Amino acid sequence: MRRRTRRAAPLALLGVAAMILSACSGGGSGDDPTDGAPADTDAPVTISVGGKPTTENPEQLADFERRLDEFTADHPNITVEAEETLWEADTFQALLAGGTMPTVMQVPFTEIGALIERQQVADITDQIEGSEVLQHLNPTVMDVVTDDSDRIFGVPIAAYTMGLLYNRALFEQAGLDPDAPPQTWEEVRAAAQAIDEATDAQGFGTMTLDNTGGWILTTTSYAFGSTLQSDDGATATIDNPATTEVLEFYRSLRWEDNSMGSNFLLNYDDAVNAFASGQMGMFVQGADNYSNMVVNRGMDPQDFGVAPLPQTDEGLGTLGGGTISIINPTATPEEIAAGLEWIEFRSFQQFTDEEVAVANAEAAAADGLAVGAPGLPVVNAELDAQYLEWIAPVINVPRENYELYLSTVEDIPLIPEPSVKAQELYASLDPVVQAVLTREDADIDQLLTDAQGTVQAALDAG
């Protein structure tokens, strides 16, 4: 026994050394894989793709697998390894560090700026040029994934603009016309008062936590006439009259009308739950929330209302959001090309192939999912109109309720998020919104001056 142990010991020691060495080699810097020869699109290549539906959604999973089989049949040289990986702010860095980020995965619009800035996403400009469909995406939406030197870093696969969500049932209870949602901020204020008086719900609400307070303040500032950062991202412009006006608007609703409820520490889920359960009459949020509210949270489809974000005379437009498919920054040109093939097949084939469009829509409707929910088209207007025509008989969303939103969605300019350190900017604005909502004597000018200083310092630090 003893002898055997002795002989095993040096081996074990070797094992330790190997382990430590392998650990040391992790996290090292890689070479830029995009340099060199152009992609060979016929060579065998293996890619991993995130976003595979989980087993709790058997219908979606079956649909995904069916599409995956079709893709593999169409592209025999591409092996696709599907995984369930989804974007999470606190695990994404670990995916990168551990080298386990899939070749293709989806991220929200809000993140792409920072990813481009930190070079954590592949430049796909060269490979995207070869794709017919991807050349015809909505230019407004493509701006989001394009940097100053016209390099492209992702494919938007779903988009929306920020709008004013309102509960149609509460509008009716308050004697308001649900088909004529507020179009000015004065009308928003009046509607909030009416709802607050006539129902148990709060009239208006806004999120304040986890950077959402700053996000919505930024969105609303656009509607009041100012961005919060210069176009080149070098200068913060937080301390501006439009943002002051937004905060004054919050203050009137909170302290004069008392129509914003009593809890002012709301994160995204808190606000969305309050809205879907009929406790909040209106709030500013992505206009694509139909599925989230109705399918995921059980809101009555007829209660969900969405209006364009009201604009003042100086209003610049609204902020946009959505989902972007990105490619792993360490992917080879071949993997990037294969990844783009998959993205095109999975997210865009319904715009070019009627059969696929109808089959997808029917499968979704059969699973109780929303077909035809309001959003911002990611393809150009022509392709989108054709697609809607194809699936018209299958649409199960009351699109007539969003008449005003759908007829104006293309008219209101889409303003991108601050290009540099957007999340830090939002983080600095959360406390400003919280202050105005929790302290009657909050000094708005001082708060904005302080936030301006903090954010400018962060921008200067680079």
Partner 1 sequence: MVALDDPPAVAHRSSPTRRRQRSPMTWLRRGGLTTLVFFLPLLLSFAYFSWWPILRSLVLSLQQTNFIVTEWVGLANFERVLADPLLLTAVWNTTYFTLLAVAIGFPVPILLAVLIAEMRRTRGFASVLAYLPVIIPPVVSVLLWKTFYRPDEAGLFNTILGWFGLGPLPWLNDPNLVIPAIVVQATWASFGTAVIIYLATLMTIRTELYEAAEIDGASILRRFWHVTLPQMRGILLIMLLLQLIGTFQVFTEPYIMTGGGPENRSMTLLLLIYRYAFVSGDYGRATALSLLLALALSLLSAIYLWATRRWSTS
Closer to partner 1 by CB, 19 or 180: give it: 19
Residue 254 interacts with partner 1 (CB under 8 A): yes or no: no
Closer to partner 1 by CB, 31 or 411: give it: 31
Choices 15-23, 214-222, 297-305, 406-414 (CB under 8 A): range interacting with partner 1: 15-23
Say how far apart CA 339 and CA 328 lie, in whole Å. 9
The DSSP call for residue 74 is: H
Residue 118 interacts with partner 1 (CB under 8 A): yes or no: yes
Print burial letters for 224-236: b (CB count within 10 Å at least 16), e (below 16).
bbbbbbeeebeeb
Residue 25 interacts with partner 1 (CB under 8 A): yes or no: no
Choices 85-93, 168-176, 188-196, 248-256 (CB under 8 A): range interacting with partner 1: 85-93
List Cα–Cα distances, 121 to 101, 102, 124, 151, 427, in angstroms: 11, 12, 9, 12, 23
Closer to partner 1 by CB, 190 or 209: give it: 209
Residue 99: how many other CB atoms lie within 10 Å: 11
Closer to partner 1 by CB, 184 or 446: give it: 446
The partner residues of 304 in beta bridges, in order of sequence, read 167
The closest alpha carbon to 281, from 435, 170, 445, belongs to: 170
Instruction: Decide: 357 and 121 in contact? Cβ < 8 Å.
Output: no
Closer to partner 1 by CB, 66 or 118: give it: 118
The partner residues of 307 in beta bridges, in order of sequence, read 164
Q: How far is the CB of 46 from partner 1 (least distance, A)?
A: 20
Residue 430 interacts with partner 1 (CB under 8 A): yes or no: yes
Q: Pick one of 210, 239, 335, 341: the residue that binds partner 1 (CB under 8 A).
A: 210
Give the 3-state secondary structure of residue 196: helix
Give the 3-state secondary structure of residue 368: coil
Sign of the CA dihedral with 147 first, then 149, 150, and 152 last:
negative
Q: Pick one of 21, 23, 37, 73: the residue that binds partner 1 (CB under 8 A).
A: 23
Say how far apart CA 241 and CA 227 lie, in whole Å. 11
Which residues, 6+ apart, have CB-to-CB distance to 302 below 8 Å? 168, 169, 398, 401
Choices 25-33, 43-51, 69-77, 299-307 (CB under 8 A): range interacting with partner 1: 25-33
Q: How far is the CB of 432 from partner 1 (least distance, A)?
A: 8
Residue 18 interacts with partner 1 (CB under 8 A): yes or no: no
Residue 440 interacts with partner 1 (CB under 8 A): yes or no: no
Helices 354-366 + 58-74 axis angle, to 10 = 160
DSSP 291-344: IIIIIIT---TTTEEEEEPP--TT---EEEEEEEEEE-TT--HHHHHHHHHHHH
Q: How far is the CB of 339 from partner 1 (least distance, A)?
A: 17
Residue 186 belongs to what H/E stretch? helix 185-198
Give the 3-state secondary structure of residue 160: strand
Q: Pick one of 402, 424, 429, 455: the residue that binds partner 1 (CB under 8 A).
A: 424
Residue 120 interacts with partner 1 (CB under 8 A): yes or no: yes
Q: How far is the CB of 189 from partner 1 (least distance, A)?
A: 21
Residue 89 interacts with partner 1 (CB under 8 A): yes or no: yes
Residue 315 interacts with partner 1 (CB under 8 A): yes or no: no
Choices 137-145, 292-300, 388-396, 418-426 (CB under 8 A): range interacting with partner 1: 418-426
Residue 73 interacts with partner 1 (CB under 8 A): yes or no: no
**Residues touching partner 1: how many (CB under 8 A)?**
48
Residue 29 interacts with partner 1 (CB under 8 A): yes or no: yes
Residue 446 interacts with partner 1 (CB under 8 A): yes or no: no
Residue 76 interacts with partner 1 (CB under 8 A): yes or no: no
Closer to partner 1 by CB, 31 or 400: give it: 31
Say how far apart CA 104 and CA 337 lie, in whole Å. 11
Tokens 């080149």, residue located: 232
Q: How far is the CB of 202 from partner 1 (least distance, A)?
A: 9
Q: What values do phi and psi take at 452, rounded to 5?
A: -55, -45
Contacts of partner 1 in 264-293 (CB under 8 A): 264-265, 267
Closer to partner 1 by CB, 264 or 345: give it: 264
Residue 96 interacts with partner 1 (CB under 8 A): yes or no: yes
Say how far apart CA 321 and CA 211 lie, in whole Å. 15
- Interacting residue ranges for partner 1, rule: CB under 8 A: 2, 5-6, 8-9, 12, 16, 19-20, 23, 27-30, 89-90, 93, 96-97, 114, 118-120, 208-211, 261-265, 267, 329-330, 421, 423-424, 427, 430-431, 434-435, 438-439, 454, 457, 461
